[in-house]
Structure 1
Amino acid sequence: MLYKLWRSFIKEVLLLKRDSGGIVIIFLMPLLLIITITLIQDSTFRSMEGTKIPIIFIDNDQSEVSKVIKKELETSKTFELITNFTEKSAEGAVFRGDYQMAIVIPENLSKDLNANINFKVEAIVSSFGIDPNSTQDQKPITTAKDIHLYFDPATNPSFKSSVMDAINKMVFEIENKKIYTAFQDQLGTTEDLDNKKLISFKEIMPAKANDAKPNSVQHNVPAWALFAIFFIVVPLSINLVKEKTQGTNVRIRISPAPYYIHILGKTCTYLIICIIQFLLMVAVGVYLFPYLGLPQFEVNGKMLDLLVVTLFSGLAAIGFGILLGTLAKTQEQSAPFGATSVVVLAAIGGIWVPVFLMPEFMQKIASFSPMNWGLNAYYDIILRNSRLGGIAKEIIFLFLFYIATVAISLLYEKKQHAV
């Protein structure tokens, strides 16, 4: 039995050796894809990360509150302040689309805010029977001060909301601090009543989580390795169709070896190809990418787990290729359908667009894609430091997919040749 399997394996290797075009597609095309796409995505990511958005800032207050707001915006990694505008010229520049937004601080903002807070604090202190320190006859400011925000009409609504929320937060913190200071002055206390956050947010990371955030290399190496693995559907299905059209399939059926040995021979051959493809992708990520100015792909302590995922992802791809080659009658059917189906599986599986950005209906469909199972398993290992036990579900799904597709192929082939 092992000898028959070995001879079947050798036959497949010889067939691939004669098909130089297929070898180029299997190995060279995925390498070109991963290098090109990673360079494009990484350069785009870095340019966006390092570029500040120019916004117009007009300070008609020139006092405490406006200086705090200006300082917060200047220290932000998001905005670059442009100050040589009047409100009228800023309005025209923003509405023409020259700038995304303008912020105009009104006159006497700090003065009126201080007066309003002091009046209210004195009223509260007086209600407790305590004589306020201030003897000034102050009146509340009844007219609200508006910070004018001008946005380019084409600006994304989420950008508008985030900017307004940030400014509201800054103003709230300023008001809160001034209220504490006003109470401290009225009560004549020297105790530190400066407002400090009593509740804050703390992100809890997994104990063994990777400190580095996911980057373009951590996404593209596993994603496009998976795409390359599934792209063997095309040459594998064409190979099976050729056997039927050239009569090789007949000789295989009348040989002493069972037909499933022939299928196992193809599985072993293309499984080795899948592993070689993955190793080439990893080699590019580890050794070539740093010379191209890209982050290095880290695989320390994870290589064995990654190879296990590659093994079962390869089985799923091989099963799909065997099924397609068994059902197709001509190369014109198998080749276009195989390539298209792999592209579709990649699209819905999260290879190009992350699944969480898809509509809810598409997210449910993605959960049925074998490429999504493999990608999730890769991510669990690379980004979440999971071991084999943490990816058991994805591995089982991939293996069952292989068993199901091969079983259907064998049953279909048996029915077609039943006497």
Structure 2
Amino acid sequence: MMYKLWMSVYKEFLLLKRDFGGLIILFVMPLVLIITITLIQDSTFRTVTESKIPVVLIDNDKDEISKSVIENLNKSGQFEIVSSLDGKNLTENSAKEAVFKGKFQLAIIIPENLSKDLQLKVNQNVDKIISNFGIGDLSEEPKKDSLPQIINKKEVRLYFDPATQATFKSNVKSSIDKMISQIETKSIYATFQEQLGEGEEPIFEQESFITFKEIVPTVDNKEILPNSVQHNVPAWTLFAIFFIIVPLSINIVKEKGQGTQIRLLTNPVPYSIVIAGKTITYLVICMIQFYLMVLVGMYLFPYLSLPTLDLDGKFFLMSVVALFSGLAAIGFGILLGTIAKTQEQSAPFGATSVVILAAIGGVWVPVFAMPKVMQVISHISPMNWGLNAFYDVLLRKADAVEILPEIFLLLLFFIITIFIAIQYDKKKRAV
């Protein structure tokens, strides 16, 4: 039995050797893919975090609020404030026109007398509260005929480039709203202080009582922050592993078309041995793909100014996940090759199915960013199981026990697809 299995493996290697160019493509194209995608994503990440976005700011207030907005925008380190274009001071109309033509992503228009009118409104509200509590100066008779000054609402106008993403708009709006809310709160405290306080000592605490702090995993008191390499190497390794479905299914269809399968059936070799030979052969290819990806992440990426892939203490578990992911891909490829009748059926369907499994599995778009329906559907993709297992090991510091559910699903997927392939082959030969 072992001799038959070995000869089956040897046959598969001979078939691959005949198409040496195709074999090289299996290894080279995934490497080109992972390098390209990682460079693009890392460059995008650095652009967002390191470079400044020019923002037009028209300051019609020239008082406390506008000064605070400018100060906070400068402190954020993400924006570069622009007030002139081609040597001319920008107005609201010229700023709007420049933004709508795509020269700037954002224009902020601060209205006139914003700080002054806000203080007047706060004074009115505070005076009303104090008078209702009877804390005001009783020696002064209220003037019945005097009416409070009507202060119209102010609006800070924001102009966005039509091509700007919705998330950027939402972030800018919430940031500016937070700035102005803090200024309003401080004005209210200061006015109460002026009306009720004695001396210079503050009677109200003006610092935020509730703050937010992000807690991330740490090793040796150092924060573990995921980078583009840690996300891309697992994702595109899985994509490369599952793309083995295409050449595997095509080879099986070729054997049926060339009569190789019939010659194999005339020998006392069960179909399970033939499948085992294919499984071992293509599993070796999948593992070579994985190790090439790892080597690129560890040794080539630093020369491309990319983060280094750190697999310290995780190499074995990552290899286990790659192994079972390869089994799942091979099972699907064998099933497709067994069912398909022509290469025109197996090749397009195999390539399309890999793309679909990658899309719903979270390789391209994170699962949490998908609609609720797609988040549920993503759980049926073996790429999703493999990706979660990779992330558990690489980012969440999981041990062998914690990745067992994903490993079990990948193995079960392999067993089910192989079982269906064997049963389909038996039924077809019986007919």
* TM-score, with structure 2 as normaliser: 0.87
Tell me which moved more, 302-311 or 262-271: 262-271
How far apart are 1:113 and its partner, in Å? Answer: 3.0
The one of 101, 104, 107 aligned to 1:99: 104
CA contact (8 A) 2:216 2:225 kept: no
Aligned residue among 407, 415, 418 for 2:427: 415
Q: Give yes or no for the alignment of 1:357 onto 2:369.
A: yes
Once the 2 structures are TM-superposed, how far is the Cα of residue 226 of structure 1 from its aligned partner? 0.9
Quick check: 350-359 or 199-208, which moved more? 199-208
What is the letter of the counterpart of residue 379 of structure 1?
A: Y
Shift of 1:408: 1.1
Structure 1 residues 319-328 or 231-240, which shifts more? 231-240
Aligned-residue Cα RMSD (Å) equals: 2.9
1:17 aligned onto 2:12: no
Instruction: State the secondary structure of the residue aligned to 2:430.
Output: coil
User: Secondary structure of 2:107's match?
Assistant: strand
* 269-278 vs 16-25, which moves further: 16-25
Give, in whole Å, the separation in 2 of the partners of 1:134 and 1:8: 107
| Aligned-residue offset at 1:44 | 2.7
Which whole-Å CA distance do the structure 1 matches of 2:111 and 2:96 have between them?
15
Amino acid at match of 1:279: Y
* Pair 1:179-2:188 in alignment: yes
Q: Which runs of 5+ in 1 are unaligned?
A: none
1:417 CA displacement:
2.3
| Partner AA of 1:66 in structure 2 | S
Q: In the alignment, is residue 231 of structure 1 matched against residue 243 of structure 2? A: yes
What letter matches 2:397 in structure 1? N
CA distance, structure 2, for counterparts of residue 6 and residue 223 of structure 1: 32
1:281-320 correspondence runs (5 A): 281-320=293-332
Cα distance in 2 between the residues matched to 1:239 and 1:32: 24
Q: Deviations over 1:202-255 (max 9, x none)?
A: 334457799344332222211111111112122222222232233332332233
> Structure 2 vs 1, CA of residues 145 and 338 (structure 1 numbering), >3 Å: closer, same or farther?
closer
User: For residues 264 and 143 of structure 1, what CA distance do their matches in structure 2 show?
Assistant: 82
Distance in 1 between residues matched to 2:153 and 2:187, nearest whole Å: 16
* Letter aligned with residue 143 of structure 1: I
Task: Write the distance in 2 (CA, Å) between the matches of 1:242 and 1:94.
Answer: 59
User: Structure 1's 98 and 332: CA in aligned 2 closer, same or farther, altered over 3 A?
Assistant: closer
Give CA-to-partner distance per residue, 1:305-335, whole Å, 9 cap, x none.
1111111111111111111121223333323
144, 158, 171: which one aligns with 2:152: 144
Q: How many angstroms does 1:261 deviate by?
A: 1.8
Aligned residue for 1:58, secondary structure, equals: strand
Judge conservation of contact 2:55–2:104 (CA < 8 Å) in 1. Answer: yes
Aligned partners of 2:381 and 2:329: how far apart in 1? 11
Q: Is the 8 A contact 2:108 2:159 kept in 1?
A: no
Task: Give the direction of change, closer, same or farther, for the CA distance of 1:92–1:236 in structure 2 (3 Å limit).
Answer: closer
Worse-superposed segment, 308-317 or 138-147: 138-147
**Take 1:228 and 1:123, find their aligned partners in 2: how far apart are those partners?**
70
Map of 2:393 onto structure 1: 381
How far off is 1:279 after superposition? 0.3
Question: Partner amino acid for 2:129?
Answer: I
Do the aligned partners of 1:210 and 1:383 also contact (CA within 8 Å) in 2?
A: no
Give distance in 2, aligned partners of 1:164 and 1:141: 30
- Retained in 1: the 8 A contact 2:121–2:151? no
Cα separation, 2, equivalents of 1:158 and 1:266: 47
Alpha carbons of structure 1 residues 53 and 414: separation in structure 2 relative to 1, 3 Å: same
**Structure 1 residues 10-409: aligned runs within 5 Å:** 10-83=10-83, 84-131=89-136, 140-152=148-160, 154=162, 155-156=164-165, 158-189=167-198, 190-205=201-216, 211-409=223-421
State the distance in 2 between where 1:194 and 1:150 align. Answer: 32
Whole-Å separation in 1 of the counterparts to 2:114 and 2:92: 16
Which stretch of the first structure deviates more once superposed, 236-245 or 298-307? Answer: 236-245
Is residue 117–residue 151 contact of structure 2 (8 Å, CA) maintained in 1?
no
Give, as a single letter, the amino acid of the residue that structure 2 aligns with 1:333. Answer: Q
Q: Separation in 1 of the partners of 2:343 and 2:173?
A: 59
Cα distance in 2 for partners of 1:172, 1:149 equals: 16
Compared CA separation, residues 251 and 175, structure 1 to 2 (3 A): same
Higher deviation after alignment, 310-319 or 323-332:
323-332
Amino acid at match of 1:368: I
- Partner residue in 1 for 2:86: none
| Partners of 1:134 and 1:210 in 2: CA distance | 64
Shift in Å, 1:95 = 4.4
* Deviation of the 1:402 alpha carbon: 0.7
Q: Percent identity?
A: 58
Corresponding residue SS for 2:252? helix
Deviations 1:9-36 (A, max 9, x none): 2222232223202311221121121112
Aligned CA distance change for structure 1 residues 346 and 105 (closer, same or farther; 3 Å): closer
Q: Are 1:224 and 1:351, in contact at CA under 8 Å, matched by a contact in 2?
A: yes
Q: Relative to structure 1, is the Cα distance of residues 268 and 59 closer, same or farther in structure 2, using a 3 angstrom cutoff? A: same
The two structures have a TM-score, normalised by structure 1, of 0.89
Per the TM alignment, residue 304 of structure 1 is displaced from its structure 2 partner at its CA by 1.0
Instruction: State the secondary structure of the residue aligned to 1:417.
Output: helix
User: How many residue pairs end up in the alignment?
Assistant: 419
